[in-house]
């Protein structure tokens, strides 16, 4: 069997009804994993694409900033029986100058991007330790885990914090054969960047800095997530795999 095969594994992917999450869920299914999708609403398009790969898709509808991580993981286990992989992909963003940024926008972003990601990882790790089973946790960070950005204080804080937590969890859980790593996407063609891509000046400014000369597509994360969730990455702990078209190298 290939070191990149995920046959027999079950992956929980948050925010996979479209965009980056959908592409990663489908990639994991292509590699052999069944998928539990955690979304605020039905993810029928993702279900169809996962099932087209001959894999099972289990839906859990939840609000990451309201439903407890314990409840979400319990519901996932009821449907799938076990979890071997967690991809903390769900995220949100609010834009405003730091001088004007509201506490409500701060909490809305940090609660989903950072708090929910940590407690979901904690619950999945507890399940893996109780099973005495190896596992993979992949947090979706950002190039703003390394940079400050502008007009996105809570997003920058949450993604910087998520990278720090990735390293902490890797330090604590590597001894349990749980690999915790991160993917740091650059500027991708998703809803989160729609406003930037619709602004001609900002679009030109961003593309002028990306060596690849284009925004990333969700499918550009497929190889990265399969690698980090597979035995091929068995000795990779606490790493942030940047997928940014060369943005940080500029």
Domain ranges of the chain: 10-244
> What is the fold of 10-244?
Rossmann fold (3.40.50)
CA distance 152 to 142: 12
CA distance 142 to 114: 12
End-to-end Cα spacing for the chain: 39
- Is residue 42 within 8 A of residue 20, CB to CB? The reply is no
At 102 the pLDDT is 98
Q: Give the pLDDT confidence of 61-103 residue by residue, as tens digits.
A: 999 999 999 999 999 999 999 999 999 999 999 999 999 999 9
pLDDT of 160 over the 80 cut: yes
Helix (H, G, I), strand (E, B) or coil at 178: strand
Quote the tokens at residue 204: 């030109």
CA distance 167 to 237: 8
Quote the tokens at residue 210: 């990306």
Q: Give the pLDDT confidence of 100-156 residue by residue, as tens digits.
A: 999 999 999 999 999 999 999 999 999 999 999 999 999 999 999 999 999 999 999
- Is residue 166 within 8 A of residue 123, CB to CB? The reply is no
Q: Give the predicted TM-score (pTM) of the model.
A: 0.97
Angle formed at CA 216 by CA 213 and CA 221, multiple of 5 degrees: 140
Of the candidates 11, 47, 113, 155, the residue annotated as catalytic is 155
Helix (H, G, I), strand (E, B) or coil at 224: helix
- Is residue 187 within 8 A of residue 209, CB to CB? The reply is no
Query: Annotated catalytic, 155?
Result: yes
- Is residue 96 within 8 A of residue 102, CB to CB? The reply is yes
Q: Give the pLDDT confidence of 38-52 residue by residue, as tens digits.
A: 999 989 999 999 999
Q: 34 exposed, middle or buried (CB, 10 Å; 0-12, 13-18, 19+)?
A: buried
Contacts of 175 by beta carbon, 8 Å cutoff, 6+ apart:
none
């Amino acid at each position: 069997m290939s070191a990149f095969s995920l046959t027999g594994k079950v992956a929980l992917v948050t925010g996979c009804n479209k965009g980056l999450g959908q592409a990663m869920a489908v990639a994991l299914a292509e590699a052999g994993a069944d998928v539990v999708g955690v979304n605020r609403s039905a993810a029928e398009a993702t279900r169809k694409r996962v099932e087209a790969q001959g894999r099972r898709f289990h839906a859990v509808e939840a609000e990451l900033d309201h439903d407890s991580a314990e409840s979400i993981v319990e519901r996932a286990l009821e449907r799938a029986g076990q979890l071997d992989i967690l991809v903390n992909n769900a995220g949100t963003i609010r834009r405003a100058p730091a001088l004007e940024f509201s506490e409500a926008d701060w909490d809305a972003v940090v609660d989903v991007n950072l708090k929910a990601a940590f407690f979901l990882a904690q619950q999945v790790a507890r399940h893996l330790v109780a099973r005495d089973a190896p596992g993979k946790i992949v947090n979706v960070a950002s190039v703003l885990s390394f940079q400050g950005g502008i007009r996105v204080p809570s997003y920058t804080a949450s993604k910087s914090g998520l990278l720090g937590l990735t390293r902490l969890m890797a330090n604590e859980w590597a001894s349990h054969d749980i690999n915790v790593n991160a993917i740091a996407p650059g500027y991708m063609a998703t809803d989160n960047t729609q406003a930037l891509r619709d602004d001609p000046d900002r679009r030109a400014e961003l593309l002028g800095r990306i060596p690849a000369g284009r925004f990333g597509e969700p499918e550009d994360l497929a190889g990265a997530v399969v690698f980090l969730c597979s035995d091929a990455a068995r000795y990779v702990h606490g790493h942030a795999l940047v997928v940014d078209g060369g943005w940080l190298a500029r």
